[in-house]
Structures are given as C-alpha cells and as structure tokens.
Amino acid sequence: MRYGIDGDRLWARLMAIAQIGATPEGGSCRQALSDPDEAGRALFLDWCGARGYQLRKDRIGNLFLRRAGREAEASPVLIGSHLDTQPTGGRFDGVLGVLAGLEVLETLDDNAVETDRPIELCVWTNEEGCRFQPAMMGSGVACGVLEMETVLAARDHAGTTLAEEIARHGYDQEPGPSLAEAACYIELHIEQGPILEAAGKTIGVVTGGQGIRWYEISIIGEETHAGPVPMALRKDPVPVLMHVIGLVQAIGRTDEAARCTIGRIDLSPGAINVVPGQVAMTVDLRHPDEAVLDAMHRRLVEGLDVLRQRHPDIDLQGRMTWHSPVVTFDRGLIETVRASVRDRGLTFTDIVSGAGHDAFNLARRVPTTMIFVPCRDGISHNPREYAAPSDVAAGANVLLDLTLARSNM
C-alpha cells in the first residue's frame, strides 16, 4: 500500500514556524542558538509532544526524536535537517527537511504502520554557519568530523562564544555528541539553485555534493587621517584588497563548475575620513571535483604569496578555516529515490548539490542521500525563497517512501 503525507498540515506548520524570527521582507531570522532559534525548536517539540516520541538531546544542542520499531535494538533510519536560518533567510531552507520528517512519522502513526527499524528525526545545530563558524557544526561534531572543544571556542561577531550559548540554553548538561550505528540518513531540502525549475522537474535525485573550502583573509596596513597623508606615503590595505578580489574572481573562472564567493569584507575603523588600518574578508571556494578544488586552493595560496611580495609594507595573511570534501551519495539509496519518483509519476533529474548540507557529514559515517525540490527562481538564503505547496508535498512523499522502505529492510 502507498501512503501519502498531509500536505496541508505540513504547509501550515511551515508558515507557522516562519513567524518565529519573521523579517519585514517576509523571511525568517533564527540564527543558531539565538532566542528565536530556541523558540522555533520549542514550537517543533510542542508538535512532537502529543505523539510520544522519545526525545534525546546532546551537548551541542542536536535533537533526536525516536519513533520505535518492532526491533528495538535495530540500527535506526535517520531523517532530518536543521531549523536555524541565515540572518536574512527564507521559510524553507532546512526547516522543510525537519517538518517533512515529522510529517513522515505522523503519517505512519495515522495509518498505524509499524516498522522493523526505529526511525529517528534529527535536528542539527548550526548548519548555516553564519553566526558561528564552521557550518554543519552539530552534525560535524556528532560524526567526528569536528572537535567539540574547538567549536565551543567559536565566537560570533559580538564576541559571544558557542560555549556560552550552549550553557545558556542548558545543553551543557546533556551527553556528549556521538552518532551511534545507523541504517542510513535521508535529507529532504529545497534545491537552492535554478536547475530543477529550469528543467521543469519536480524532484532532484541528489547523487553527491561539491567540495567546499572557507578562508579568512586579513590585510593590515596603517590607519591614518584621510587628509594630511599623501597617497604615495600611505600604507593603505584597500589597493591590495582590490587585487585579492581580482584573484578570487579569476579563480572563479577556472571552469563552469567552479564557484568563488567573497561573502564579507570589513574595513576598520570604517570611517569616511580615515584610511583603513585593516581589512578582514572571507572567501568560499567550491567545485564538484576534489582535484580541481585542490588546484583552486593552490592558486589562491600562491596568488596571496605573490601579492605579499609585491606589497611588503602590507601584512597580508590568509588561512583556510574549513574544508568539506566532495561527497558521493549511496547508490542503493539513490536507486530507491528513483523508484519512488517513478512509482508516483513525478518528473525528476539527477543533480549534484552546490550547497553544503548536514548530509555531507553523515555520508562519511552511514549510507546517505538527499532529495531536492525546486525553489522559485533558484533563490535561497533570501526572504524571497519559495517552494510551491505541491512540490513540498511531493518531496515529503518521496521521503516517506524511502524512509518506509529502509526501515523495513
């Protein structure tokens, strides 16, 4: 028998949780471990509460809701995503995977369906990495990719440490993060790009993900008055900044699959009549081929070294802060996604994820795959982010099929 999720219930909850941290532009701001993030989690747990699922938390704030299976000791099927958002985030990124996961559990309950394996719905802490770096933090620590002590020392722009926020919300009293043996991990997500919409497809069968490297670059000169000091006598970091920007943009033209982004540039002190003394910036490099990503990394490092030699009066430093390698998802799970899509008469195409996801960390430990649905105009990390109700329901139904199939294997 083929079951179907309650699309109206799922949509109503997506719209309800979007009101927590709602922005004037129509998006949501629930940065990791902020009060709005915790309020969003509380609403989610309220929805879960009536169903009697077993709740487990860990020391970094990950949440796990367990629906029992006939075989209590069997390794569970994991599904889920995250509830935190970007500062100017939308209403679907991450939260769709969590609420669709809850919808899967409730649909099984509503139809009195027992499964052999338990099913655990995971809510990962700080997937976005906008407030505390690196991204995919909760899943990274749980999977042994990141060290707990290292991430606890991370600071936001206000100087607050992750450890302080963990303690403020009481997660420091929970057991240490770890990932027990699991049968698989499945994550539903909006595509965050334009490929599915352009192709007129409802489902993206995700075969893997791009490699990602993050960098912090500092350019230190000498802060001074804008009027009295001649241009030739200044130690101005801005001209060097222009060369760094050019270098990054050139690396981005390595080939059509390359992606290079300068996400933040901070000039200090930031006054109109002061020559800046320091520039701090971030760089994001991505490519689906790890060898090419290595070459892009070398080109950045070598380019910074050349600029350092050309501008000896400027202190130019760069360091890589995070590396998420290229990911290949499990072939068996991919085939099961395709089977579900065909059975439901949905259109689909294979796709490689351009964005990073918690599934990338899980793939290092257990068989993993993802399911994508289109987002309008390919826009994400933006209040205009939108996925149609019919696509949301279609993706949740494929998640249901895959979860049911794997929990009875």
DSSP E strand boundaries for 194-314: 203-209, 211-220, 224-225, 259-268, 274-275, 278-287
Interval 215-231 mean pLDDT: 97
**Residue 52: other Cβ atoms inside 10 A:** 9
Cis amide linkage into residue 230, ω under 30° from 0: no
The pLDDT score that the predictor gives to residue 50 is: 85
CA pair distance 96, 112, nearest whole angstrom: 24
CA atoms within 13 A on the CB side of 116: 8
Tens-digit pLDDT profile for residues 54-65: 999 999 999 999
CA pair distance 231, 301, nearest whole angstrom: 28
Tens-digit pLDDT profile for residues 247-294: 999 999 999 999 999 999 999 999 999 999 999 999 999 999 999 999
DSSP strand pairing (184-190 vs 368-373): parallel
DSSP three-state, residue 392: helix
**Residue 107: other Cβ atoms inside 10 A:** 21
| Residue 138: pLDDT over 90 | yes
As to burial, measured by CB atoms within 10 angstroms (0-12 exposed, 13-18 middle, 19+ buried), residue 222 is middle
| Residue 1: pLDDT over 90 | no
Q: Cα 296 vs. chain centroid, distance in angstroms?
A: 22
The pLDDT score that the predictor gives to residue 409 is: 79
**Residue 404: other Cβ atoms inside 10 A:** 19
CA pair distance 223, 221, nearest whole angstrom: 7
Picking from 390, 380, 393, the residue whose alpha carbon sits closest to that of residue 88 is 380
Interval 368-376 mean pLDDT: 98
Question: Scanning the structure block, which residue is given the tokens 């992606």?
Answer: 259
Position 75 confidence tier, pLDDT thresholds 50, 70, 90? very high
Cite the DSSP H helix spans in 260-289: none
The pLDDT score that the predictor gives to residue 48 is: 96
User: pTM of this prediction?
Assistant: 0.87
Please, what's the b/e burial string for 60-85 (b: 16 or more CB within 10 A of its CB; e: otherwise)?
bbbbbbebebeeeebbbbbbbbbbbb
Angle at 91 between CA 87 and CA 95, to 5 degrees: 95
Domain boundaries, the chain: 7-210+326-407, 211-324
The pLDDT score that the predictor gives to residue 370 is: 98
- The proportion of the chain whose per-residue pLDDT surpasses 70, expressed as a percent, equals 100
Residue 336: in which H helix or E strand, if any?
Answer: helix 331-343
Cβ partners under 8 Å of residue 400, min gap 6: 3, 4, 5, 103, 104, 107, 108
Cis amide linkage into residue 269, ω under 30° from 0: yes
Q: What is the mean pLDDT of the chain?
A: 97
What's 7-210+326-407's CATH class?
A: alpha beta
Handedness of CA 105, 106, 107, 110 (dihedral sign): positive
What's 211-324's CATH class?
A: alpha beta
